[in-house]
Chain A
Amino acid sequence: MSAIGVDSVAELYAAIPDRLRTSGPLDLPAGLASEQEVERLVGDLLSRNRTTQEYTSFLGHGCYPHYVPAICSEINGRAEFLTAYAGEPYEDHGKWQAIFEYTSLMSDLLEMDVVTVPTYDGLQAAATALRMAVRMTGRKTVLVSEAIPEALRIKLDSYLDGHAAIATIPVDITTGTLDTAAARDLLGPAVAGVLLQTPNVFGVVEADVEAIAAAAHAHGALLVASCDPISLGFLPAPASLGADIVCGDIQSLGLGMHFGGAHGGYLAVHDEERFVFELPSRLFGLAPTRKRGELGFTDVAYERTSLARRESGVEWVGTAAALWCITSAVYLSAMGPAGLGELGSTVAAHTRYAIERLGAVPGVSVPFAQSPHWRELVIQFDRHDVAEVNKSLLAHGIFGGVDISRQFPDLGNALLICVTEVHGVDDIERLAVALEGICR
């Protein structure tokens, strides 16, 4: 204080009038005297959680239990990446390169040349994709698949509010896939874009993406496809089927679940000006430096962003999910084509096994069993309330499925079951045996 010529800290707050001052200390618990006490307090609270390592969990529906390789955690925890922020390539060259490698690996996987620095999550990415379609076409209606999670629909409703009306493409209740004929009927000259998710909310792979894309294009509308990039170890890239904007969440790519706290949204488009200038997020591009042979990076088309032009920019951009995307880059690099392919077929095999095994439990049926699935499946109970089933399963040490009866009342007592490479046939068998006991 002597260095700046004041006698008390109070003098530094002279700008804040008394009438705005807080009187007395904040009503908070007293601080802790040592790190050890912090460790005890928070450790004790967290010890009240039960984990998916202790219980066998079949929960998915937007947050997926995929194995997190140790190398992902190692890089994710590096202090340099963890505590860097907005540095230019001169301070943070490694960050720029790692994020560029993320967009590049995703670009190869998605078969689209442009992938953004991530946005908050897959829901935000899908919402932005539809706003892009509205801006690019100047039209005020979008078509949205019924077979998407309720959380996504809520996001779309709120984000398109005042900008476009949303019409729903119904599900064919016999197959669990989009009703393509209905989609064709809904398409017309006022439609900006069509959004579908594949595999969809039931875990069913949309079979008619190419036909829906062609129909949309014939009407001047865009096809937006939401997909989990980890599924592309087994399924074709939506761009190869005609999708114009591909979006989704990177949580599956080595991030872990974190109680739903580990999401990042990706947006991918073809390398064309009309698409690129509608992206709100930052784009990193390769650039030369003054030294031959040296990699440099730069913002691409920065003038798009709200950081450059405030409300005249495209939507907005801010801090979102950079470290998650670096972690995903590590995941994709380490898994490689063989790892991702093996994971894809393992998940497909487990899903089919679960369809057959759980479908064989008396009192349980699998409504879309003949449709191709990946990672999730719906099971229905003839008589049992799903909340009661889940409660009973909990007593068996099992986190059962997600109740989707509220979103899809027509499915009756329906649970969404998720299986991945972290499950074994024995886990599915355990669930089946438990259900046999419950449904007896």
Chain B
Amino acid sequence: MRATSPATVHQEDDRHVAVPAARDIIDDDARAALPYQAPRWNEPLIFALHSDGARGVIPARADPRELARIPESPEARVQRQQAIALPEISQPQVLRHFLRLSQETLGADLNVDIGQGTCTIKYSPKINETFVRSPRAAATHPLQDPSTVQGTLRIIAELEQYLAVISGMDAVSVQAPAGSAAIWGNVQIVRAYHRSRGEGDRRDEVITTIFSHPSNAATAHTAGYRVITLYPDADGLVSEAAVRAALSPRTAALMITNPEDTGIFNPAIDRLVRAAHEVGALCVYDQANANGLLGITTARAAGFDLCHFNLHKTFSTPHACGGPAAGAICATAALAPFLPGTRIREEDGVYTVQPPGPQATASLRPFYGVIPNIIRAYAWIRALGADGLREVAEGAVLSNNYVMSRILRIPGVTAAYLDNERRPIEQVRYSWQKLTQETGVTSSEIGQRMADFGMHYWTSHHPYVIPEPATIEPTESYSRRELDDYVRALAAVASEARTDPERTKAAPHHSSIHQVDPTGVNDPTTWATSWRAFRRKYLGADMPVPRHWEPAADAPAPIRPAKAFHR
């Protein structure tokens, strides 16, 4: 290991007088101490690029004789009369604008993206991009005759088989467009299953835990369930006794993550499942945190009825600024008939599309799912095989333990529920409470300052059960050198919080922009969710709002929750 550089805070005004010696070019400690600077293009909104008459793309046109007939056609009756209010911009200007915006975006391909715990930001191999962007994948229509899309149908069917093996379950659907959509799909299955047994009305509660993703609670509530949220004991785990106390003949399902978003594995998970089964509830495993478990343990081993994976987390498909993503629902044989929508079957090497069976739940998506991500995940699993997947899991856990050992050397930080000999799986929920008490600098402010090092840092899901939280998930994709870079930046920020907290709180200083003040633009009269709204509210643009719905006398009073911010 190379010598660690002292925690260094960047100086904005860095004047060099003497030219260093040639060999200093490769002084790695000096390099590491140089300030990062995010691209800063100060690009205006796209509307400022408008130039009368400019064209970016010219579409193919119909035969002029056919166009000339529109005025006499029935279509003339419905043709719009108003101009289309879009800007006019030439192609080079459009390209430059969006390329500059892309440069002002810190993707995982650029940074040590371990600061978004629970989301498994790993490398997405470039070869897989060539597959999904080839016409063989992209220029196909989902309603083509199945004989003409045997390649894609086989990829879907085989990916479902592989995920069945990885989860230990019997049947899989990869139709869900995202992780939360898969959780919703599982809720639909829970509802359909209990109804099929005549218990749909009686079972109106779902139990989840505070360290399971918010979408478990939110999708269950959307379906109409009353949600019971369990909190952990002092050891960070939800106890069997707590689960038993919440269970009743009204329980439809236990929906739980393991390891939870703290990175701590609940060794009694099978006992919780058994307890739920004893009252006739189903058990649904949110496997968003599966990256450390591939080839190690399965949903089946713990007795679950259903689980889901996020293909954009564990199985390498890129996060794409927040989608497209993909989710996989895995079910036991007993619940397989409830899987959503159409199913693909293979017989003698021929793949056919089977209409939904009598117990199938509603499709989660038009057609078959997010095909580009299905292809990427398929290629990733094929490239790695069983041994490779297990290496992924072990690498992720090893990296996490390594990063934890380094982060815990920083004064002011603790690892939640890890103060004994216990080891985390693939992520750790840290707390900066001590640092905040000593300096006034919060976890959110640490995150703002981390941007000045070219690093992304997230706090944690709300509510902040662990005070001043941060969840770090190193995954298998980063080198030890990169992990050290991240921890060094974190140490530098924590050190600065002690010496110059005002500078930390005023961050970022090296980002594409400076600190945003959302407070004055977050009420109905002040917010501007579009350029059109901004023109209306701040520039006095006169755009009449057409006549529309007004609440009748029986309409409920609108609910306005207390103000909250992202972090």
| Contact indicator B59/A61 (Cβ below 8 Å) | no
Using a Cβ cutoff of 8 Å, how many contacts connect chains A and B? 751
Asked if A336 and B150 make an inter-chain contact with CB atoms under 8 angstroms apart, the answer reads no
Residue on B nearest A27 in the bound complex, by CB: B165
Contact of A319 among B108, B168, B312 (CB under 8 A): B312
Interface check A220, CB cutoff 8 A: yes
Q: Is the CB of B564 within 8 A of A50?
A: no
Per CB-CB distance, the 5 closest pairs between chain A and chain B, nearest first, are A220-B552, A31-B385, A260-B367, A261-B371, A260-B142
Instruction: Scan B106-138; emit 1 where CB is below 8 A from any A CB, else 0.
Output: 111111010010010100110111111111111
Contact in complex: B83, A337 (CB < 8 Å): yes
Q: Quick check: which of A98-106, A166-174, A178-186, A431-439 contacts chain B, the rest being far away? A: A98-106
Q: CB distance B548 to A330 under 8 Å?
A: no
Closest B residue to A288 by beta carbon equals B517
17 residue pairs A–B, Cβ–Cβ below 8 Å: A15-B425, A16-B265, A28-B389, A42-B379, A108-B85, A120-B178, A120-B181, A217-B548, A234-B80, A237-B80, A295-B45, A308-B462, A310-B229, A318-B325, A320-B178, A329-B98, A335-B56
Q: Mark A237-276, 1 if CB is under 8 A from B, else 0.
A: 1011111100001000000111111111000001111101
Q: Interface 1/0s, chain B 138-149, versus A by CB < 8 A? A: 111111110111
User: Which residues on A sit within 8 Å (CB–CB) of B97?
Assistant: 333
With A12-B401, A336-B87 given, is the CB distance from A323 to B148 under 8 Å? no
Q: Is the CB of B149 within 8 A of A50?
A: yes
| B223: nearest chain-A partner, CB-CB | A162
A310 touches B165 (CB 8 A): no
Partner of A113, one of B99, B319, B365, B532: B532
By beta carbon, the residue of chain A nearest B534 is A286
Q: Is the CB of B151 within 8 A of A49?
A: yes
**Which residues of B56-108 are within 8 A (CB) of A?**
56-63, 66-67, 69-70, 73-89, 91, 94-95, 97-108
Q: Give B367 Cβ to nearest chain A Cβ, in Å.
A: 3
Q: When the two chains form their complex, are residues B521 and A289 in contact, meaning their CB atoms are under 8 A apart?
A: no
Q: Are B222 and A316 in contact (CB under 8 A)?
A: yes
Q: How many angstroms between the C-alpha atoms of A90 and B321 in the bound complex?
A: 14
Query: A residues 195-247 with Cβ under 8 Å of B?
Result: 205, 207, 213, 216-217, 219-223, 232-237, 239-244
Task: Tell me whether B218 and A316 are in contact (CB under 8 A).
Answer: yes
Within 8 A of A (CB), among B460-494: 461-462
A295–B513 CB distance below 8 A: yes
* A337 x B521 contact (CB < 8 A): no
Select one of A50, A219, A241, A337 contacting B88, CB under 8 A: A337
A104 to B87, CA, bound (A): 11
Contact B383 A294 (CB under 8 A): no
With most chain A CB atoms within 10 A of its CB, the pick from B81, B451, B522, B530 is B530
Contact A207 B58 (CB under 8 A): no
Q: Is the CB of A16 within 8 A of B564?
A: no
**How many angstroms between the C-alpha atoms of A425 and B543 in the bound complex?**
40
Q: Which residues of A are found within 8 Å of B89, using beta-carbon distances?
A: 333-334, 336
The chain A residue with its CB closest to the CB of B320 is A323
Among B517-567, those with CB < 8 Å from A are 517-518, 520-522, 524, 527-534, 536, 543, 545-556, 558-567
B405 within 8 Å of A (CB atoms): yes
Structural contact, A296 and B516, CB atoms closer than 8 A: yes
Asked whether, in the complex, the Cβ of A322 is within 8 Å of the Cβ of B556, the reply is no
* Stretch in B8-16, B19-27, B290-298, B432-440 with 4+ CB within 8 Å of A: B290-298
Nearest-neighbour CB distance to chain B for A212, whole angstroms, equals 13
Complex CA–CA separation, A394 to B141 (angstroms): 14
Contact A93/B513 with A6-B401, A32-B382 known, Cβ cut-off 8 Å: yes
Q: Is there an interface contact between B558 and A113, defined as CB atoms closer than 8 Å?
A: no
B168 to chain A: closest residue by CB: A22
Q: When the two chains form their complex, are residues B46 and A101 in contact, meaning their CB atoms are under 8 A apart?
A: yes
Distance in angstroms between the alpha carbons of A321 and B298 in the assembled complex: 29
Q: Which residue from A32, A120, A373 sits with its C-beta under 8 Å from B383?
A: A32
A3-B405, A38-B127 known; A258 vs B138 contact (CB < 8 Å): yes
**Contact yes or no, A55 B148, CB < 8 A:** yes
B401 proximity list for chain A (CB < 8 A)? 4, 6, 12
Residues of chain B within 8 A (CB-CB) of A335 are 56-57, 59, 86
- In the complex, whether A165 has a CB less than 8 A from a CB of chain B is no
Contact B214 A260 (CB under 8 A): no
Alpha-carbon gap, A397 to B382, bound state (A): 33
Instruction: Tell me the chain A residues, 382-440 only, with Cβ under 8 Å from chain B.
Output: 390-391, 394, 399, 402, 421-422, 424-425
The interface-forming segment of B240-248, B331-339, B390-398 is B390-398
Contact mask for chain B residues 212-237; partner A; CB cutoff 8 A; 1 contact, 0 none: 00110111111110010100000000
A368 to B423, CA, bound (A): 68
* Known A42-B379, A86-B119, A259-B137; contact A373-B60, beta-carbon cutoff 8 A: no
Bound Cα distance from A51 to B138, whole angstroms: 8
The residue of chain B having its C-beta at the shortest distance from the C-beta of A289 within the complex is B514
Residues of B within 8 A of A320 (CB): 177-178, 322-325
Supposing A261-B367, A294-B513, A320-B322 touch, asked if A15 and B265 sit within 8 A by C-beta, the answer is: yes
For residue B28, which residues in chain A have a CB less than 8 angstroms away from its CB? none
Q: Is the CB–CB distance between B59 and A114 below 8 Å?
A: no
Measured between alpha carbons, how far is A87 from B192 in the docked complex, in Å?
Answer: 37
Is A332 on the interface with B (CB-CB < 8 A)? yes
Report chain B residues within 8 Å CB of A83.
Answer: 107-110, 113, 121, 124, 318-320
Contact B107 A84 (CB under 8 A): yes
Contact B529 A290 (CB under 8 A): no
Interface residues on B, range: 35 or more
B59 to chain A, nearest CB (A): 5
A16 close to B121 (CB less than 8 A): no
CB distance from B66 to the nearest CB of A (A): 4
A73 to B95, CA, bound (A): 11
What string of 1s and 0s marks CB contacts (under 8 Å) between B358-373 and chain A?
0001110111111111
Assuming the contacts A46-B134, A107-B530, A337-B83, asked whether A370 and B74 have C-beta atoms less than 8 A apart, the reply is: yes
CB contact under 8 A between A85 and B94, given known A77-B133, A285-B522, A306-B215: no
B448 at interface (Cβ–Cβ under 8 A)?
yes
Check: B416 CB closer than 8 A to any chain A CB: no
Instruction: Flag if B451 contacts A136 (CB, 8 Å).
Output: no
Q: A381 at the A/B interface (Cβ < 8 Å)?
A: no
**B200 to chain A: closest residue by CB:** A162
A307 touches B296 (CB 8 A): no
Residue B384, interface by CB 8 Å: yes
Please indicate the chain A residues that have their CB under 8 angstroms from the CB of B178 in the complex: 120, 318-320
- Convert A55-98 into 0s and 1s, putting 1 for each residue whose CB lies closer than 8 angstroms to a CB of B: 10101011101010101011101111111111111111111011
Complex Cα gap A124–B222 (Å)? 13
Chain B residue contacts of A98, Cβ below 8 A: 98, 101-102, 105, 321
Nearest CB in chain A to that of B298: its residue = A22
Q: Mark A19-39, 1 if CB is under 8 A from B, else 0.
A: 111100111111110010011
Within the complex, what minimum Cβ distance (angstroms) separates B219 from chain A?
5
Closest chain-A Cβ to B45's Cβ sits at a distance in Å of 6
Residue B515, interface by CB 8 Å? yes
- Contact between A338 and B55, CB atoms less than 8 A apart: yes
A70 CB, nearest partner CB in chain B, Å: 9
Given contact pairs A9-B398, A93-B513, A390-B145, A235 touches B368 in the complex (Cβ within 8 A): no
B315 interfacial contact with A, CB 8 Å: no
Chain A nearest Cβ from B510, distance in angstroms: 10
Taking CB atoms, residues of chain A closer than 8 Å to B87 are: 105, 333, 336
**Is A365 among interface residues, defined by CB-CB distance under 8 A?**
no
The verdict on A257 contacting B324 (CB below 8 Å), with A89-B516, A138-B556, A399-B144 known, is no
For A326, list chain B residues within 8 Å (CB).
98, 321
> Using a CB-CB cutoff of 8 Å, which residues 303-331 of chain A contact chain B?
303-304, 306-313, 315-324, 326, 329-330
* B34 contacts chain A at the CB level, 8 A cutoff: no
Chain A residues with CB under 8 A of B86: 105, 108-109, 332-333, 335-337, 340
B42 at the binding interface (Cβ < 8 Å): yes
The CB with the most chain B CB atoms within 10 A, among A256, A318, A324, is that of A318
Establish whether residues B100 and A42, one from each chain, have CB atoms under 8 Å apart when the complex forms: no
B460 to chain A, nearest CB (A): 11
The answer, among B98, B181, B379, for a CB contact under 8 Å with A75, is B98
